[in-house]
Amino acid sequence: MAKKPLMVRPELLSRDLAGTIYIITGANSGIGFVVARQLAKQGAAAIMACRRVADGERAAREILEEFPKARLDVMELDLGSLVSVRAFAALFQNRYKRLDGLVNNAGLMHTPKGRTKDGFETQFGVNYLGPFLLTSLLTDVLKASAPARIVNVSSSYHEQALGRIGAIHFDDLNYQRRPFDSWEAYAQSKLASLMHARELARRLAESGVVAVSLNPGFVRTNLIRTSLPSWAMKVLNVVLNPFLRLGGMIEPWEGAQTTLHALLAPEVVGQSGAYFSQIGLYKDKAARLGGWPMRSPNPAAYDDDAARRLWDVSEELVGLR
């Protein structure tokens, strides 16, 4: 029997968010779209940060058809380009004077060997370094808007991805010397995202800005296209969906629940640095039930020295030092 996904308390989804502003990266589809739609429904201004602006504008029109008074702003953001990240942050701060929440949602999974525009391994660059720079550039406006929240979308695969243990390979972060392994690279990028949130929480203590990470679950989104063969994608909706559902796959609305909880639940204020998980594909059976919050089954997630080292290295890589 499939496990039931964790769901946000209904009263949180009826809160009046008028006057608040949230950035959601990758808001043109999947979890990001659902989160943007829900926040806009509750009266918040949703900044839909998208690499493909045309797709973002189509998504915004879909939301506006349902909620004509929704406050939406589609802005271009390519997390695989540090120039684009800097341009987005500058334009946002020129256009807006507050920020109540940043959702680092956009990401890639199981991509072929490749490089970002700045020469980083694709998944490490897009899933971690781009959001790291974006968060750093927006930290001051978040602090000025406190109470505010930063939500990093990680993955249960930060523990292990198809047998590849999640670890930070400081000796070769971008696969310049060792053989490339896409699932290992994905696990590294998502562990880095979790460790980033924990180090953010330490550095932003007493600032009124909460930083957390989460696993949204195995969600039926475009993200799984790169992890399934092409023939499987063609028959996914007709044939595979019932079986994948039994295997733990959930719908985008269910996958968005953990993000919405992290953004809206009042108790999260006292849980900065925590990891929240929807039901997940963990090796540890107990962890598969999820928890808001729960302890990561990967001990590397709690290596504070490594988190500080990763922060220092990341600042150098993105040009903040």
Give the helix/strand (H/E) hosting 34: helix 30-41
Specify burial of residue 213 (Cβ count, 10 A radius: 0-12, 13-18, 19+).
Answer: buried
Burial string for 270-305 (b: 16+ CB within 10 Å, else e) reads ebbbbbbbbbbbbeeeebbebbbbbebbbebbebee
Would you call 96 a catalytic residue per the annotation?
no
Crossing angle, helix 82-95 and helix 130-144, to 10 degrees?
Answer: 20
Q: Alpha-carbon torsion 143, 10, 248, 295, what sign? A: positive
What is the β-pairing status of strands 209-215 and 164-165?
unpaired
- Alpha-carbon gap, residue 210 to 261, rounded angstroms: 13
Name the active-site residue from 128, 186, 275, 282.
186
Outline where 118-264 has alpha helix (H): 122-124, 130-144, 182-203, 230-235, 241-246, 252-255, 257-264
Peptide bond between residue 5 and the one before it cis (omega within 30 degrees of 0): no
Catalytic residues: 186
